[in-house]
């Protein structure tokens, strides 16, 4: 496995699965675990401490509420940790966003978008990190960016045609 995806609760899976699916689309293997920073802190620390020796290159951490998972993992590994704040609870994800953003100096966690874009962007960021030393992934990323641009151009053409008819 190359990327570890860790979520604080299995209720996060419907959202986090988008990261797994995106990695799979790029041919990147990922392992998925449910580990709670608060309910299983020793497991979280052990997961992070052994991540590199198990072949992981990047860790994606998704958590809601207090969202300490990314920070706990980052405290115990030298691998890049990408945090996905998960919306929910009384503050609808603002607490998770702020917890993921406000890491102390020396323990970085890259914070991705709150909402459905977060898992996709986390996976794409992981692929970008891996592509630094993998020409095949770099080519897949370039193709992905080209397809995105083509979708925008097609959307622009549709709107222009609609306006021309009006």
pLDDT digits (tens, 9 = 90+) for 97-108: 988 999 999 999
Best CA proximity match to 12, nearest among 85, 121, 97 = 85
Contact 6, 47 (CB under 8 A): yes
pTM given for the model: 0.94
Bridge partners of residue 62, in order along the sequence: 7, 84
pLDDT of residue 46: 98
Per-residue model confidence as pLDDT tens digits over 43-63: 999 999 999 999 999 999 999
Q: Is pLDDT above 90 for 112? A: yes
């Amino acid at each position: 496995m190359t990327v570890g995806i860790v979520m604080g609760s299995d209720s996060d899976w419907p959202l986090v699965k988008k990261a797994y699916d995106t990695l799979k689309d790029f041919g990147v293997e990922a392992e998925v675990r449910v580990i709670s920073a608060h309910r299983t802190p020793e497991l979280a620390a052990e997961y992070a401490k052994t991540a590199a020796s198990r072949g992981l290159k990047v860790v994606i951490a998704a958590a809601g509420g207090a969202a300490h998972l990314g920070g706990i993992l980052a405290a115990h590994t030298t691998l890049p940790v990408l945090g996905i704040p998960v919306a929910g609870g009384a503050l609808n994800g603002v607490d998770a966003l702020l917890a993921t953003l406000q890491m102390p100096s020396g323990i970085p966690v890259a914070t991705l978008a709150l909402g459905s874009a977060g898992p996709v962007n986390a996976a794409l960021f992981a692929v970008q990190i891996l592509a630094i030393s993998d020409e095949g992934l770099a080519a897949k990323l370039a193709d992905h960016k080209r397809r995105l641009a083509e979708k925008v151009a097609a959307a622009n053409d549709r709107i222009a045609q609609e306006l021309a008819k009006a």
